[in-house]
Amino acid sequence: VHQQQRADMKKIRGLRGLINLGNTCFMNCIVQALTHTPLLRDFFLSDRHKCEMQSNSCLVCEMSQLFQEFYSGHRSPHIPFRLLHLVWTHARHLAGYEQQDAHEFLIAALDVLHRHCKGDTIKDDNGKKTNNPNHCNCIIDQIFTGGLQSDVTCQVCHGVSTTIDPFWDISLDLPGSPTPFWPLSPGGDGSTVNGENHLSGSTTLTDCLRRFTRPEHLGSNAKIKCGGCHSYQESTKQLTMKKLPIVACFHLKVKLDMTPFMASSKESRVNGQYQQSVDVLNNDNKYSLFAVVNHQGTLESGHYTSFIRQHKDQWFKCDDAIITKASIKDVLDSEGYLLFYHKQFLEYE
Catalytic residue annotation:
25, 303
In one-letter notation, the amino acid at residue 216 is E
DSSP states of 13-73: TT---B---SS-HHHHHHHHHHHT-HHHHHHHHTT-----S-GGG-HHHHHHHHHHHHTSS
Sign of CA dihedral 332, 286, 309, 181: negative
The values of phi and psi at residue 54, to 5°, are: -65, 125
Give SS3 for 183.
Answer: strand
CA atoms within 13 A on the CB side of 261: 27
- Report yes or no: 13 and 73 within 8 Å, Cβ to Cβ: yes
CA distances from 290 to 35, 93, 212, 309, 312 (A): 11, 29, 23, 5, 9
Strand 273-275 to strand 268-270: parallel, antiparallel, or no bridges (unpaired)? antiparallel
Strand 255-257 to strand 192-193: parallel, antiparallel, or no bridges (unpaired)? parallel
Burial class (CB within 10 angstroms; exposed 0-12, middle 13-18, buried 19+) of 167 = middle
The values of phi and psi at residue 142, to 5°, are: -60, -35
